[in-house]
Chain A
Amino acid sequence: MGRCLGGSDTLFGLDARKRNFRFSISFHGSCICALLTAFVLFLLLICSIRLSSSAESRAVTKIFLRCAWFTMVVLAASIVTKSGKDCCLTFSFPSILIAVLVSRQFVEMSRIRIEGLLAAFPKLVGTGKQHTFVETENVRYVYQPIEALYLLLVTNKQSNILEDLDTLRLLSKLVPEYSPSLDEEGVCKMAFELIFAFDEAISLGNKENLTVAQVKQYCEMESHEERLHKLVMQNKINETKDIMKRKASEIDKSKVYFISILHDVHCNPQPRCYLHEPLYCTLFSQIEKNRGDKGGLMALSGPRRIESSFNDMSISNSGSGFGSGSGIGLSSDVESFSIKPKGRPSASATAPSKGLGMKLGKTQKTNQFLESLKAEGEVILEDVQPNVAQSKSSLPSTDPVTLTIEERLNVVIRRDGALNNFDIQGTLSLQILNQEDGFVQLQIENQDVPGLSFKTHPNINKELFNSKHIVGLKDPNRPFPAGQNDVGLMKWRIQGMDEASLPLTVNCWPSVSGGETYVNIEYEASESFDLQNVVISIPLPALREPPSIRQIDGEWKYDSRNSTLDWSILLIDHANRSGSMEFVVPPADSSVFFPIAVRFTAASTYSDVKVANVIPLRDNAPPKYTQRIQLIADTYQVV
């Protein structure tokens, strides 16, 4: 079979070549034919080289990436003494060197290397300089004098100095927190604590955005869950003890009973079994249960597990050849997909006029920038965003035509009221129950909001939409798909909104006084929306009992599992545009109460997109339609 196929293949190839040959001879002179074939050969050559090169380069990168993690890392964080002193790190004669008090390395390096780096440091630090970094051929030291010590970060030279300075600042705040006195003795005493703190502040050489309080919290390791777990364990133990006692007494009782029965046994054997059975059953089940509880802790179970996983490994080893093969196939697929837009880069560079009005979120300035870059020969691809699935399920509807207009808010507000993120995404989707109602067009109305941009489904007639704001299919003879599912017709985004247009702002003021934290929260809603089902959830520190609420506009609920306080207001309208709440919890860091998450819905949208009319395309009466308009807070956080 295989041979047969191969044969036909070559036959076909020969045939094709012949045809090609004939064609070229008949059409052009032989000279041109030679040129052409040469050109084709050249193209083929390039293609083959490209292919092989891409495969090779992939292999090469793989090898290299293994040893590189991130190109900007902190190599080590150390504390060294400022002046020379007798160093006792080694066993040789004491010599005048700086003493390395504590040093934590975040990448693999040999001892001699790190000691060398640290020993070289004091020579490099000049006096009277007003900057606190030194660069050598290979590394950069960023340091900060703390009394008689230097706090020191060793980074590679590509590392981002701004980040490193941030990290250094954090560490310099941490050191006095842990070390009682900022001298050699104090630091040596708390060396391990400092190492723990360094570990938290710099996760394997990468910067973490943490505050001193957070690092302390991480190092203290106070866990609510552990306490709960212990409580549960304790309860279980107590319970079991109770049961044990009860059972013991029962057994005692039954012994008496048993004996009495034994006395009777000769007279009447039947009742013995009858009474006897349930008692043993319960005892057995109790024992079984206990074993089940403790099973995880039993030492025996460990090795057994390990053995089994060893077996697993050998299996996976044997199968690895297959696995890797399929992996390559997959990755190459993905690559070819991602390369696709790149295939003709010049096209996008030379066609800047493509749908300018439809571009999303691009200011004039960036456009200029891009144009200028293009003019200078840089290849820039603009639409690299793959299509995101757009359908959203909703309740089944009974109306023949249902239009759902939804806007989702993604808002992140900082504590100080500044906006981190304010992003509105809207969708218009259509649901048509019967096929015959599908021949329609929709007349859209919307408010002119700055920063609003629409994107229509590829099948939608763009020109019609741009000129008349009518949504209709490109091919008027096709109906909109019918069925129970929503069809996304159009998406829009609004960007560049400012704080003034936020529907709701939440202010949280924790203040500590007298061993308690008072938290005042207030909300303020803008005039433009009536908000429904507002729930403001405030994370709380782990508490045993619910917080005491002093004052509240609305209702509250304490979720002890997630330790959040949910403040709900059914409706915010002109009657209660602002409201407040106050509660008291045991003392806690103010950062605990963030991020505050808010959920709400509203019946009007920012863009005010509406379907004004459904225009039938065939000569029947316009179908009945309903419109659902909703504004939903998708992510609405105060961080």
Chain B
Amino acid sequence: MEKSCSMLIHFDKGSPAMANEIKEALEGNDVEAKIDALKKAIMLLLNGESLPQLFITIVRYVLPSEDHTVQKLLLLYLEIIDKTDARGRVLPEMILICQNLRNNLQHPNEYIRGVTLRFLCRLSEPEILEPLIPSVLTNLEHRHPFIRRHAILAIAAIYRLPTGEQLLPDAPVLVEKVLSSEQDLSARRNAFLMLASCAQLPAVAYLLSQADHVANWGDLLQMAALDLIRKVCRSNSGEKGKYIKIIISLLSCPSEAVVYECACTLVSLSSAPTAIRAAANTYCQLLQSQSDNNVKLIVLERLNELKTSHKEIMVEMIMDVLRALSSPNLDIKRKTLDIALELITSRNIDEVVLTLKKEVVKTQSTELEKNGEYRQMLVQAIHSCAIKFPQVASTVVHLLMDFLGDSNVASAIDVVLFVREIIETNPKLRVSVITRLLDTFYQIRAARVCSCALWIIGEYCLSLSEVESGIVTIKQCLGDIPFYTATEEGETADASKKLQQVSSVTVSSKRPVVLADGTYATQSAASETAFSAPTVLPGSLASPGNLRALILSGDFFVGAVVASTLTKLVLRLEEVQPSKTEANRACTDALLIMTSMLQLGKSSFLPHPIDNDSYDRIVLCIRLLCNTGDDVRKIWLQSCRQSFAAMLAEKQFREIEEIKAKAQISYAQPDDLIDFYHLKSRKGMSQLELEDEVQDDLKRATGEFMKDGDDANKLNRILQLTGFSDPVYAEAYVTVHHYDIVLDVTVINRTKETLQNLCLELATMGDLKLVDRPQNYTLAPESSKQIRANIKVSSTETGVIFGNIVYETSNVHERTVVVLNDIHIDIMDYISPATCADVTFKNMWAEFEWENKVAVNTILQDEKEFLNHIIKSTNMKCLTPPSALDGECGFLAANLYAKSVFGEDALVNISLEKQADGKLSGYIRIRSKTQGIALSLGDKITLKQKGGSN
């Protein structure tokens, strides 16, 4: 059992030499000096020094001091010193302090008495406590509430010791008496808590006798009462009927903390719809009334829990939950939307969408800094509503289309993707959506939105009038042809200078990105230019349309999209237009536009010429329009849509699969044992299990759970630190918990001599640090010793622990050093597979500073086998869906993701190609925010990627 630590104080100038100064100051008469010295002594002790000689000095010179601060510090000192010897017996000298403590307990100063009583709560040695008990008991009746409060605590603490029942057999009776006559709220709370934990029956009796008054108890006491109710009902669920009334009366209590606790209690006690509804109502009220974001988030968390366990009731509450959207905090809004989205049913969908629409409109009218992001959230929410319940799509799609021209590109993209999906899945809406899109097209500013919108126009303009107006719209947005003439040169000279500035910025931010399918591609910085270009260009060039502005800013990707859209429109026009001349005219117009784009691209007007990709595409379009064929026509007019439909189907299929998978998680297996109430305790453990849920919470928090080590696992981790022929043999087993590593080192003296001052000196590399100061031991001949060292980890990084064992023998005077093997700490202990959305992955990939690029070098021949091997050996999760990895095509790209226990992200991208000789080649790129992960993960991969052996 590790020693408990009751305080930490930052201290850096510790040296054992100070011990003498401290001693002197303590022996002196100056109170200030004494205080200082005592403080220093405490800090030294906290930092692992043991000052054994100091105790007697303190007993002689400090105990009699009258000063209050000295007395309080003395209590802290007594709190942290070792009061027992190695075998757990109380040191004999501890009896010396008893008298002082007794005097303190009878001190005329009530505060001295109080703090001493509080100190007793932290003592666990019955030998010290026993003589003090009469004094503690007399303090129960003291006039001052401060003393009574602490006296009750002390009694409770003593009674709860393993031998407490012998020390204070009548403690519950005493406390019960106190409780009935006590006035001070805090003292009453302490008394009640003591009863609740030590003698439940009197506590329950008291609670029931006061049932009508509970509503008037103070908040502290009410909390304790609720706690007791939960405890009692957990162990004896048949009795909960008695308490529901009390809980209900507390629900209308003025203290919010109590109300919140009530709701929690209600949920834990009953699953009756009324109770749950009352709890949910309470939560919703708190959500409204509390202004603190923390509270709101936690209450939302509770609602979320309710949602999973009692969905049908929460469905009724959805509108109340949605009211939390009025909070300005985005986290809260997001959480609210998340909860609400899962509660949508066909019955409330209209109401919900109405609210969401109102919120969207609100974001337009008010100007808040995070409006853009919020709008994006709302759009996504509406999007998922519309997918679940297609009937609402018609009501929202038009509203959302107003946001195509939104300055927040992300939300505009969401909108346009939404429109694209709706237009495919809701054929009825096609006509109205297309008309609307053509009307609002000129407002679209962002290049990515533009290209997507153009694709929609190209695919879904079917009738003659639609096709024609589509062509007209594009033409209008492009403005007059040509884009660039020699005469314009002078006029635009200064404009192009400006342009240069703009594009120089954008070019520099050009960077590789991961495409959605995981391929690693270089993309011209289309989206980035979209932010800046439109703001400069329309004014300077007097450009009429957004497309023109984009193209003039050098975004030829949009140009290529325009070209292919026009091609599609013209091809379709030829099918629907009865008059051949009209079709031909449109065709020539389109050709003119394409050629002028090419001309612009080749000219020196723009700082950088058209990229090859776009050039090829535009040229392809021109060729196509010049000589059309049925095959090509079929590809352009039908295949695109078919593959889009296939993509949507695939997405839907995957979602359904997920829902199915979720539904598969059954709450109980058919062959599970059933707990019969009357037969419950025959299982023996079930009572314990019930208790466990709550106890665990506290225990986990205090770290008591760390103890259950798996013995078999321990043996796997044994490391030999020195050789068998060394005079000192050492081996260690390493236990890794989350934030700390425990080294249990066994040291064996292999010689026939006594080793003195044997010391295990450890040092670390990486983000590791030692907790304790090494201690010196004396090791008899051929005896062994267990030494434990605690090491703290603060980030995910491969760390190394190295060290040596130093000792002296009686005949050799210098110290002998045995160097130990290094202990490597594996990164795998710290990362665990995790998932994140595609977009987040891309954002993080773009953001993170550290990249480690590892060339693939493996004996494996199959791409997928290699991928699986990497996934297995790095303990990461593959984000790329399996369907995207299907098929044999000789190359593979996949994204992997993991999260460390410290919350750091680790991203990995694998790009592979199968060479002609059957070998795999390519790169594995690791990105992370900190260097440590990228490096250590890279090392790990380099080590393991070879494959074969493991």
Contacts and interface: CB of A to CB of B under 8 A. Distances in A.
A229 B112 CA distance: 14
Contacts of A139: 700-701
Interface in A328-365: 331, 334-335, 338, 341-342, 345, 360-361
B740 interface: yes
Interface stretch (B238-246, B397-405, B480-488, B834-842): B238-246
A421 B216 contact: yes
B261 A160 contact: yes
Contact of A131 (B150, B216, B297): B297
Given A370-B248, A423-B216, A123 B902 contact: yes
Contact of A209 (B48, B218, B238, B241): B218
Given A70-B197, A92-B770, A192-B76, A133 B230 contact: no
A357 B231 CA distance: 34
A117 B702 CA distance: 10
Interface string B784-796: 0000001010110
**Most central of B7, B162, B699, B770 by chain A CB within 10 Å:** B7
A384 B211 contact: yes
A204 B5 CA distance: 14
A112 B121 CA distance: 22
A373 B697 contact: no
A225 B593 CA distance: 99
A302 B104 CA distance: 13
Contacts of B702: 75, 107-109, 113
A238 to B, nearest CB: 18
Interface stretch (B219-227, B511-519, B575-583, B661-669): B219-227
B739 A130 contact: no
Interface string B1-45: 011111111111000000000000000000000000001001000
A507 to B, nearest CB: 22
Nearest to B100: A302
B872 interface: no
Nearest to B217: A421
A247 interface: no
B701 A70 contact: no
B112 A221 contact: yes
A96 B905 CA distance: 19
Contacts of B153: 203-204
Interface string A215-257: 0001001010110111000000000000000000000000000
Contact of A91 (B131, B278, B695, B770): B770
A150 to B, nearest CB: 13
B44 to A, nearest CB: 13
Interface stretch (A61-69, A390-398, A510-518): A61-69
A306 B691 CA distance: 40
Contacts of A228: 108
Contacts of B68: 221
Nearest to A50: B678
Contact of A385 (B10, B208, B235): B208
A133 B697 contact: no
Interface stretch (A374-382, A461-469, A582-590): A374-382
B227 A71 contact: yes
Contacts of B198: 65
User: Interface residues of A toward B: which range?
Assistant: 35 or more
A338 B76 contact: no
B211 A385 contact: yes
Contacts of A370: 244-245, 248
A360 B165 contact: no
Given A114-B8, A226-B107, A299-B99, A69 B197 contact: yes
Interface stretch (B185-193, B716-724, B938-946): B185-193
Nearest to A156: B701
Interface in B489-504: none
B681 interface: yes
B76 A195 contact: yes
A168 to B, nearest CB: 9
A73 interface: yes
Contacts of A320: 165-166, 169
Contacts of B3: 110-111
B160 A66 contact: yes
A95 interface: yes
A166 B272 CA distance: 32
A65 to B, nearest CB: 5
A274 interface: no
Contact of B2 (A49, A110, A192): A110
A461 B150 CA distance: 50
Contacts of B903: 123-124
A105 B245 contact: no
A278 B876 CA distance: 100
Interface in B665-692: 678-682, 684, 687-688, 691
B329 interface: yes
A53 interface: yes
A95 B766 CA distance: 8
B678 A223 contact: no
A385 B238 CA distance: 18
B108 A112 contact: no
A415 interface: no
Interface in B733-748: 737-740, 742
Contacts of A345: 238, 241
Interface string A416-452: 0000110100000000000000000000000000000
Contacts of B212: 360-361, 385
A57 interface: yes
Contacts of A226: 107-109
Interface string B189-219: 1100100011011101100110111001011
Given A71-B227, A384-B211, A366 B73 contact: no
B185 A209 contact: yes
Nearest to A130: B329
A112 B771 contact: yes
Contacts of B99: 299, 302-303
Given A316-B169, A335-B201, A384 B272 contact: no
A283 interface: no
Interface string A587-628: 000000000000000000000000000000000000000000
Contact of A376 (B272, B296, B742): B272
Given A97-B794, A116-B792, A218-B146, A309 B695 contact: no
A196 B197 contact: no
B65 interface: no
A379 B236 CA distance: 13
Contacts of B131: 305-306, 309
Interface string B63-103: 00000100011001000000000000000000100110010
Nearest to B330: A130
A174 B678 CA distance: 53
B904 interface: yes
In order of increasing CB-CB distance, the 5 nearest A-B pairs are A116-B739, A379-B241, A229-B108, A113-B703, A111-B5
26 contacts: A65-B197, A67-B699, A70-B224, A72-B223, A75-B701, A91-B770, A95-B767, A95-B768, A99-B10, A101-B9, A107-B702, A108-B4, A116-B737, A117-B739, A120-B794, A156-B700, A157-B701, A160-B223, A165-B292, A187-B10, A208-B186, A313-B166, A316-B166, A316-B169, A378-B244, A384-B245
Interface of A: 46, 49-50, 52-53, 56-57, 60-61, 64-73, 75, 78, 87-93, 95-97, 99-105, 107-120, 123-124, 129-133, 137-139, 142, 154-158, 160-163, 165-166, 184, 187-188, 191-192, 195-196, 199, 203-204, 206-209, 218, 221, 223, 225-226, 228-230, 299, 302-303, 305-306, 309-310, 313, 316-317, 320, 323-324, 327, 331, 334-335, 338, 341-342, 345, 360-361, 366, 369-370, 372-373, 376-382, 384-386, 388, 412, 420-421, 423
Given A90-B773, A316-B166, 8 more contacts: A68-B197, A91-B773, A92-B763, A119-B792, A131-B296, A139-B700, A161-B294, A338-B205
